[in-house]
């Protein structure tokens, strides 16, 4: 780790180690969260500060996708949807967003306006306010295009914290996995096909009904962005100290995504999704959760696995293969697909 590599931004093992080295391990316990809140004591998609009758939930993310316009979306739509989704994953209703845009000198004004219009359209459609921001311009050649950083604010009466998974819980995928990563990967490799189109979208209409009805039984929620489903599942297994068993036959991996990954040597379980979520729910409510997802347009939602008592000293993820075998599903490492979100 003497120098930063692209792997450090992939969302996998190297990213985790970098954050621990640079930030988490340098902070005393009292600096990692506000009292009775949630912060770097348990890193998640967002953080929470106790307020009257609940929590103020906040999130921040930098978006540097390449290309900035891709099949199914663009950098502006990605920034708005990603911020909204990160708030939802902690159980919050999204309320407001702030943005900071850094743009390279010489960028076409029409392109920048198109990105901003796209971001505003998503926020307007979800009833989320844009309450502030900033813009900076870098000299030509000192930035590759446009970078958007967004901060989001929301309110939660109760939090979904991803270290509460219990043996017997069921793992649900709300939709196809790896779709966004495959679309960006294909675009970067100049593979142009209607089969590769990002799934980027806000998940408000899908998750808010679940939060309102079943939050007591939702023990974890995450959108599998950088690092994909493989990273989320490994985070969950370690955080909750359980073994997660995932069934390959039940994974909603579209055939074009699998074929592309086989051709280019990438595990589809490490590719990002921007329009799907993984949920860990108690077995008592799993059918109700699935029915609610179906009612709200998630026709491909399904149970992909379950939590069990760990069989070793640490939590692991076991993938039951199509041929009847089993293997450890490792967290992703190395350069997966750079600049996907």
Supply the range of the domain harboring residue 81: 33-156
CATH number of residue 84's parent domain: 3.30.1330.10
Give the HSE-up count for residue 146: Cα atoms under 13 Å, Cβ half-sphere: 24
Predicted pLDDT of residue 168: 98
Predicted pLDDT of residue 135: 97
Question: Do 183 and 271 reside in the same domain of the chain?
Answer: yes
Question: Do 175 and 319 reside in the same domain of the chain?
Answer: yes
Question: Do 312 and 249 reside in the same domain of the chain?
Answer: yes
Question: Do 290 and 243 reside in the same domain of the chain?
Answer: yes
Residue at which a domain ends, from 132, 156, 180: 156
Question: Do 142 and 177 reside in the same domain of the chain?
Answer: no
Question: Do 197 and 234 reside in the same domain of the chain?
Answer: yes
What is the spatial distance between Cα 46 and Cα 32, in angstroms, rounded to a whole number?
A: 13
Domain count of the fold of the chain: 2
In this prediction the pTM is 0.95
Instruction: For residue 110, tell me if it sits in a domain.
Output: yes
CA 106, chain centre distance (Å): 32
Question: Do 101 and 223 reside in the same domain of the chain?
Answer: no
Q: For tokens 């311009």, what's the residue?
A: 137
Which residues does residue 269 pair with via DSSP β-bridges, in sequence order? none
Residue at which a domain ends, from 94, 127, 156: 156
Predicted pLDDT of residue 1: 64
Question: Do 186 and 306 reside in the same domain of the chain?
Answer: yes
Residue at which a domain ends, from 123, 156, 189: 156
Q: What H or E segment, with its residue span, contains residue 328? A: strand 326-328
Give the HSE-up count for residue 198: Cα atoms under 13 Å, Cβ half-sphere: 28
Question: Do 147 and 191 reside in the same domain of the chain?
Answer: no
Instruction: For residue 161, tell me if it sits in a domain.
Output: no
**CB distance 50 to 34 below 8 Å:** yes
Instruction: For residue 314, tell me if it sits in a domain.
Output: yes
Closest CA to 280 of 200, 235, 220: 220
Question: Do 148 and 244 reside in the same domain of the chain?
Answer: no
Instruction: For residue 85, tell me if it sits in a domain.
Output: yes
Question: Do 213 and 107 reside in the same domain of the chain?
Answer: no
Closest CA to 83 of 119, 108, 40: 119
What is the spatial distance between Cα 252 and Cα 3, in angstroms, rounded to a whole number?
A: 37
Per-residue pLDDT tens digits of the chain, which is 341 residues long: 689 998 888 888 898 899 899 999 999 999 999 999 999 988 788 999 999 999 999 999 999 999 999 999 999 999 999 999 999 999 999 999 999 999 999 999 999 999 999 999 999 999 999 999 999 999 999 999 999 999 999 999 999 999 999 999 999 999 999 999 999 999 999 998 889 999 999 999 999 999 999 999 999 999 999 999 999 999 999 999 999 999 999 999 999 999 999 988 899 999 999 999 999 999 999 999 999 999 999 999 999 999 999 877 788 999 999 999 999 999 988 888 888 88
Instruction: For residue 218, tell me if it sits in a domain.
Output: yes
Instruction: For residue 15, tell me if it sits in a domain.
Output: no
Instruction: For residue 334, tell me if it sits in a domain.
Output: no
CATH number of residue 309's parent domain: 3.90.650.10
Instruction: For residue 225, tell me if it sits in a domain.
Output: yes
Question: Do 114 and 237 reside in the same domain of the chain?
Answer: no
């Amino acid at each position: 780790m003497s120098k930063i590599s692209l792997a450090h931004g992939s969302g996998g093992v190297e990213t985790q180690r970098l954050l621990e080295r640079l930030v988490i391990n340098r902070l005393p316990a009292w600096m990692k969260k506000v009292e009775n809140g949630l912060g770097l004591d348990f890193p998640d998609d967002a953080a929470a500060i106790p307020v009257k009758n609940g929590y103020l939930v906040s999130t921040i993310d930098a978006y540097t996708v390449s290309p900035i316009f891709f099949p199914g979306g663009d950098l502006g739509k990605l920034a708005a949807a990603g911020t909204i989704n990160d708030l939802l994953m902690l159980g919050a209703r999204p309320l407001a967003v702030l943005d900071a845009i850094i743009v390279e000198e010489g960028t076409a004004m029409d392109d920048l306006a198109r990105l901003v219009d796209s971001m505003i359209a998503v926020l307007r459609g979800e009833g989320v306010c844009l309450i502030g921001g900033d813009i900076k311009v870098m000299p030509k050649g000192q930035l590759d295009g446009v970078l958007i950083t967004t901060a989001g604010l929301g309110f939660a009466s109760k939090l979904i914290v991803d270290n509460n998974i219990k043996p017997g819980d069921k793992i649900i995928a709300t939709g196809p996995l790896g779709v966004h990563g495959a679309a960006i990967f294909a675009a970067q490799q100049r593979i142009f096909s209607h089969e590769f189109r990002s799934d980027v979208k806000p998940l408000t209409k899908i998750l808010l009904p679940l939060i309102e009805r079943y939050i007591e039984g939702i023990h974890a929620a995450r959108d599998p962005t950088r690092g994909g489903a493989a990273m989320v599942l490994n985070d969950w297994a370690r955080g909750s100290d359980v073994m997660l068993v995932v069934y390959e036959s039940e994974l909603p991996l579209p055939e074009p995504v699998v074929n592309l990954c086989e051709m280019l040597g990438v595990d589809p379980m490490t590719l990002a999704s921007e329009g799907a979520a993984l949920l860990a729910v108690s077995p008592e409510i799993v059918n109700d959760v699935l029915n609610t997802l179906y009612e709200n347009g998630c026709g491909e939602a399904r149970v992909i696995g379950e939590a069990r008592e760990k069989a070793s000293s640490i939590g692991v993820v076991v993938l039951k293969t199509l041929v009847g075998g089993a293997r450890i599903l490792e967290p992703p490492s190395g350069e997966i697909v750079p600049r996907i979100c």
